[in-house]
């Protein structure tokens, strides 16, 4: 129990406690802040007590009295123990406020004197507890924190429930936790909910996702685990944080790490959770469960085929003990929790495991499963077993299961005798390449390093070096020393040199930012590969060359794409994210052929998903999201971008690039603050990796998010850096990043119209040469804002209307809506004296209707909020008297007119597309020219000189 007075100590939140619980905490906070109560429930180890402590620490300050109890199973037989924990230290403070019979009954129950029982003193005790809570609440808010409600002694549970049901309308909140069954559909918490304060919110703790388990392990110091191991921890723990941490601890303490496909070491602490129930099974039933745990998809038919004749009865007894999940009409056998299967397998000795796998190698119908079980039942090398495993790995690869192929390939290598072909290292390298396909880059790198430690043949060494390079992704600076070693190993073999030169092209691009050099290396690699008859490497090199030429605006780009798409083709390269198909998609989308681009990228995405090519899937998810965003389908783009970000976080592949694009999608259809955070993350990662290409893209996303957020000055700083970087990179095609219109618009907002016009002029020349119609239309939109800032209202409106029409016809829905928004902003500006108005002068809400309609159609929520805010401003005031304003420039007259309306500096900035600082500087000039001191003087002067 804690009693607080006026002193309030600030809460100290512990971020690591809420990994993966953000939504749950948001719901709990909303409920508790409104004076409500919360019941947290879920299975053992899921983090209920952790969440309870964090919430209690956060909300204890708002209560005058905090009452706590935490029951245990061993003490649940002691009557009134939980009640004593809750009220024992405060009963003296409120005893005099209880009627004598209630006080006597309560004191007897709390002290154990007088042999009070519910049967004898039931009503008095119930009323006493209720009165005690009401008396405490009369002095100030009360927070009751109760953990492990399932272990409450029955007497305390009955009394607490009686009182809770009658505490409605009093300042008493309950924050409780209770263990419930693993199955989400189980409603075990209902009886505890009925015993809680009325309208208590029940929140179930769900298992953590794989990325969240990885974060939890890292925060607790279990770092350096391969992603494949983290995947196994997540699968074995079922996303349970306690189980995951115990598995991580066991791995950290183990002198050797399990190989891919091998079971994790299950610590004694976790085995104890299930072994007591396993001991209640017969020996035969336990053997049956061991066979089931060794199988990938166990069924009763499989168990029968494996020689378990009494499988029905034995699995039924296991289900009765809660070891197996009971599912009607389900053919498979499913363990109640993955940990049950893992503990059972870990507890068996090596001979028992081999016997189980031997039986399954004969019983399994799938050839891949048969080969795997045969390998696990075999000791030592065996060429026949190795050959079967190699065939099984190839079958898994063809099925689109590269992660399965990895485990089979490593098993094949283990059983491959020396001096045979393919060698054990060749099998390991194939497994490493399968790991790259599956997105398990750290595993691929580790396998390649093992091969390099002993391989002597040039082909195997170069192949291993290429795996190391590919596994580095964008962070090529970390493996820069690899290239001279790989070239030395390649010697004068054109096929091997082609492999290295292809990767050197990527190095030139990512590390040096030299597109011309990257193109040259790609072309050289293609020629060498063709001479060596290596069509796969030739196709990859041509695809890379085509991408460089597209970004550079090189005239050879279409012909290079055609060369890369000629027969013969390698099916895996054809759909690779660095292949010709990807290059063609980029060429289509940069050329405003959005419908064709969508068709192309959708087909590529479907194929790589079928093949299990994770990195390519990630690229094509982003590509499809980009196509949808260009088309103005912001909601769809946001869904795809968030899906790609989840995949990137899960695999660790392309996180910077994916954060960059997700930022663009968030700024268009989601949350601007999230867009800013993601863009900053992308910039930081690109700078850390030394990746100049994605740094420019990340800065472009940051500048865009800053512009949408209304910070034009910051947008200019970011986008100026993009301009400098792309000039250095040799990026000529403005359709690559499409940041130019944003920079020009931001420059207008801060009053730098001359620089804005220069950006437009330079970009327009390039866009005209390359026939980038959508870029030209966006530049016209930006130029109209420059004209408006110079006082050319009529021409500006006409140019904007034309740009809006062209963008709509090209299918760029979001850009069309932005043009409509800018046009509405111009039409609601007060007309400066001496400047001919070319617009309609419509009031705000009417002028903004078209922009709002278009943004709503795009589901561009951040932009829609801007429109609604602008439309809510009062209509423009009449023009100020010419005599008072003759000495002012056009922008100064517009600012002064808006001051006359009563607009704030921020509102003026939004209406005129300039920064707040520019507004302030402009007002200073206005004051000086008019000989006045404040905004009030502007209004007074205008009123005095306005004609009757």
User: pLDDT grade, residue 2 (50/70/90)?
Assistant: very low
Angle at CA of residue 439, ends 436 and 445, nearest 5°: 45
What tokens does 735 get? 């359709």
Report the C-alpha gap between 910 and 218 in whole angstroms. 44
Q: Which residues contact 332 (CB under 8 A, 6 or more apart)?
A: 297, 298, 299
Q: What pairs with residue 601 in β-bridges? A: none
Q: At residue 646, does pLDDT exceed 50?
A: yes
User: pLDDT grade, residue 228 (50/70/90)?
Assistant: confident
Report the C-alpha gap between 885 and 879 in whole angstroms. 10
How far is residue 856 from each of residues 732, 818, 849, 870, 871, measured CA to CA in Å?
34, 12, 10, 15, 15
pLDDT tens, position by position, 694-714: 899 999 999 999 999 989 999
Cα–Cα nearest to 58, from 12, 7, 4? 12
Chain-wide mean pLDDT for the chain? 86
Cα–Cα nearest to 914, from 702, 705, 712, 709? 712
Angle at CA of residue 524, ends 518 and 526, nearest 5°: 105
- Looking only at the bridges linking them, the beta strands covering 65-70 and 2-3 are antiparallel
Q: At residue 14, does pLDDT exceed 60?
A: no
pLDDT tens, position by position, 530-585: 999 999 999 999 999 999 998 888 889 999 999 999 999 999 899 999 999 999 99
Residue 325: what pLDDT? Answer: 82
Report the C-alpha gap between 864 and 817 in whole angstroms. 10
Report the C-alpha gap between 279 and 828 in whole angstroms. 81
pLDDT tens, position by position, 604-638: 999 999 999 999 999 999 999 999 999 999 999 99
Q: At residue 117, does pLDDT exceed 70?
A: no
Look at 91 and 810; give whichever has higher pLDDT. 810
Report the C-alpha gap between 577 and 583 in whole angstroms. 8
Look at 284 and 919; give whichever has higher pLDDT. 284
Q: How many residues does the chain have?
A: 948
User: pLDDT grade, residue 40 (50/70/90)?
Assistant: very high
**Residue 268 three-state SS:** helix
Looking at residues 272-280, what average pLDDT do you find?
80
With beta carbons less than 8 A apart as the criterion, state whether 674 and 702 touch. Answer: no
How far is residue 552 from each of residues 112, 310, 505, 627, 735, measured CA to CA in Å?
86, 70, 15, 21, 10
Report the C-alpha gap between 414 and 772 in whole angstroms. 56
pLDDT tens, position by position, 437-484: 999 898 999 999 999 999 999 999 999 999 999 999 878 888 999 999
Q: What single-letter DSSP state applies at residue 151?
A: G
With beta carbons less than 8 A apart as the criterion, state whether 581 and 618 touch. Answer: no
Q: Which residues contact 34 (CB under 8 A, 6 or more apart)?
A: none
How far is residue 577 from each of residues 608, 613, 686, measured CA to CA in Å?
9, 9, 20
Per the rule left: phi > 0, alpha: psi between -120 and 50, beta: everything else, 398 is alpha
Q: At residue 223, does pLDDT exceed 70?
A: yes
User: pLDDT grade, residue 330 (50/70/90)?
Assistant: low
Report the C-alpha gap between 801 and 810 in whole angstroms. 15
Residue 189: what pLDDT? Answer: 55
Looking at residues 791-795, what average pLDDT do you find?
88
Q: Tell me how crowded residue 255 is: count the other CB atoms within 10 A of its CB.
A: 4
| Residues 383-399: b if buried by 16+ CB within 10 A, e if exposed | eebbbbbbebbbbbbee
Q: What single-letter DSSP state applies at residue 73?
A: G
What tokens does 781 get? 């939109």
What ranges in 565-671 are assigned the alpha helix state H? Answer: 571-574, 580-590, 594-611, 614-630, 634-651, 655-669
DSSP string, 547-566: HHHHHHT-TTHHHHHHHHTS
Give the global pTM: 0.77
pLDDT-wise least confident of 420-429, 738-747, 903-912: 903-912
User: pLDDT grade, residue 518 (50/70/90)?
Assistant: very high
Q: Which residues contact 87 (CB under 8 A, 6 or more apart)?
A: 1, 67, 106, 110, 129, 132
Report the C-alpha gap between 536 and 568 in whole angstroms. 10
With beta carbons less than 8 A apart as the criterion, state whether 705 and 683 touch. Answer: no
Q: At residue 884, does pLDDT exceed 60?
A: no
315-319 contacts, C-beta under 8 A, 24 or more apart:
315/285, 315/288, 315/289, 317/281, 317/282, 317/285, 318/281, 318/285, 318/289
Residue 121: what pLDDT? Answer: 65
What tokens does 813 get? 């829905």
């Amino acid at each position: 129990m804690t009693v607080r007075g006026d002193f309030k100590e600030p809460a100290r939140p512990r971020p690591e406690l809420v990994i993966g619980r953000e939504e749950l905490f948001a719901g709990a906070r909303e409920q508790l802040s409104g004076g409500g109560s919360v019941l947290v429930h879920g299975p053992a180890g899921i983090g209920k007590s952790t969440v309870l402590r964090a919430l209690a620490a956060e909300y204890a300050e708002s209560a005058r009295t905090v009452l706590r109890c935490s029951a245990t199973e061993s003490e649940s037989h002691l009557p009134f123990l939980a009640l004593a924990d809750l009220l024992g230290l405060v009963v003296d403070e409120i005893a005099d406020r209880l009627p004598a019979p209630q006080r006597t009954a309560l004191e007897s129950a709390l002290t154990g004197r007088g042999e009070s029982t519910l049967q004898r003193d039931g009503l008095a005790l119930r009323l006493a507890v209720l009165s005690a809570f009401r008396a405490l609440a009369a002095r100030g808010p009360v927070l009751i924190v109760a953990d492990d409600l399932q272990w409450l002694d029955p007497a305390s549970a009955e009394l607490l429930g009686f009182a809770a049901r009658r505490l409605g309308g009093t300042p008493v909140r309950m924050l409780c936790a209770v263990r419930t069954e693993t199955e989400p559909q189980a409603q075990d918490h209902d009886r505890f909910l009925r015993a809680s304060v009325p309208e208590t919110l029940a929140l179930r703790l769900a298992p953590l996702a794989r990325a969240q388990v990885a974060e939890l392990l890292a925060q607790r110091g279990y770092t350096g685990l391969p992603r494949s191991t983290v995947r196994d921890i997540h699968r074995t723990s079922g996303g349970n944080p306690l189980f995951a941490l115990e598995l991580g601890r066991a791995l950290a303490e183990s002198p050797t790490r399990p190989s891919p496909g091998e079971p994790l070491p299950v610590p004694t602490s976790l085995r104890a959770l299930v072994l007591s129930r396993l001991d209640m099974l017969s020996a035969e039933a336990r053997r049956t469960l061991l066979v089931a745990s060794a199988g990938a998809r166990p069924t009763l038919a499989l168990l029968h085929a494996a020689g378990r004749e009494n499988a029905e009865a034995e699995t039924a007894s296991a289900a009765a003990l809660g070891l197996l999940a009971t599912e009607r009409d389900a053919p498979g056998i499913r363990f109640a929790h993955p940990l049950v299967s893992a503990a059972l397998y870990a507890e068996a000795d090596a001979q028992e495991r081999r016997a189980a796998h031997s039986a399954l190698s004969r019983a399994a119908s799938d050839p891949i499963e048969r080969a795997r079980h045969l390998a696990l039942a075999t000791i030592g090398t065996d060429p026949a077993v190795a050959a079967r495993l190699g065939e099984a790995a190839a079958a898994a690869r063809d099925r689109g299961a590269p992660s399965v192929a990895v485990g089979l390939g490593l098993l094949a290598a283990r059983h491959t005798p020396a001096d045979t072909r393919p060698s054990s290292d060749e099998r390991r390298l194939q497994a490493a390449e399968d790991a790259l396909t599956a997105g398990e880059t750290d595993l691929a790198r580790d396998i390649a390093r093992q091969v390099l430690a002993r391989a002597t043949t040039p082909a195997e060494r170069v192949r291993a070096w290429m795996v190391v390079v590919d596994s580095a992704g964008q962070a090529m600076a970390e493996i820069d020393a690899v290239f001279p070693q790989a070239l030395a190993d390649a010697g004068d073999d054109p096929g091997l040199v082609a492999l290295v030169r292809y990767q050197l092209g990527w190095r030139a691009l990512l590390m040096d930012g030299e597109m011309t050099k990257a193109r040259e290396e790609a072309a050289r690699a293609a020629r060498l590969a063709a001479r060596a008859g290596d069509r796969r490497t030739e196709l990859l090199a041509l695809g890379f060359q085509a991408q460089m030429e597209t970004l550079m605006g090189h005239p050879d780009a279409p012909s290079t794409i055609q060369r890369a798409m000629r027969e013969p083709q390698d099916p895996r390269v054809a759909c690779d994210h660095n292949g010709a198909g990807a290059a063609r998609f980029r060429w289509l989308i940069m050329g405003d052929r959005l419908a064709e681009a969508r068709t192309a990228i959708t087909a590529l995405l479907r194929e790589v998903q079928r093949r299990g090519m994770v990195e390519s899937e990630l690229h094509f998810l982003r590509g499809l999201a980009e196509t949808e965003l260009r088309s103005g389908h912001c909601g769809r783009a946001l869904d795809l971008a968030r899906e790609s970000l989840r995949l990137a976080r899960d695999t660790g592949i392309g996180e910077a690039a994916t954060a960059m694009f997700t930022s663009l999608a968030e700024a268009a259809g989601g949350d601007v603050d999230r867009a800013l955070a993601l863009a900053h993350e992308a910039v930081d990662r690109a700078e850390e990796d030394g990746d100049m290409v994605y740094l420019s893209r990340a800065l472009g996303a940051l500048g865009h998010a800053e512009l949408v957020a209304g910070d034009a000055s910051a947008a200019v700083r970011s986008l100026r850096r993009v301009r400098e970087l792309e000039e250095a990179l040799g990026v000529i095609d403005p359709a690559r990043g499409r940041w130019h219109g944003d920079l020009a618009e931001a420059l207008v907002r801060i009053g730098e119209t001359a620089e804005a016009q220069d950006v437009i002029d330079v970009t327009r020349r390039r866009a005209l040469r390359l026939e980038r119609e959508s870029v030209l239309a966006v530049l016209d939109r930006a130029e109209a804002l420059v004209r408006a800032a110079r006082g050319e209202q009529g021409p500006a409106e006409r140019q904007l209307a034309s740009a809006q029409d062209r963008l709509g016809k090209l299918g760029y829905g979001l850009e069309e809506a932005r043009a409509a928004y800018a046009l509405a902003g111009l039409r609601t500006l007060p007309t400066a004296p001496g400047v001919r108005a070319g617009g309609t002068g419509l009031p705000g809400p009417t002028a903004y209707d078209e922009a709002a309609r278009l943004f709503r159609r795009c589901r561009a929520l951040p932009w829609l909020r801007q429109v609604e805010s602008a439309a809510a401003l009062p209509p423009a005031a009449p023009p100020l008297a010419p005599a008072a304003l003759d000495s002012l420039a056009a922008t100064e007259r517009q600012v002064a007119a808006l001051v006359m309306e009563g607009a704030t500096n921020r509102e003026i900035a939004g209406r005129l597309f300039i920064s707040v600082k520019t507004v302030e500087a402009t007002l200073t000039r206005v004051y000086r020219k008019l000989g006045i001191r404040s905004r009030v003087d502007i209004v007074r002067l205008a009123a005095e000189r306005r004609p009757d």
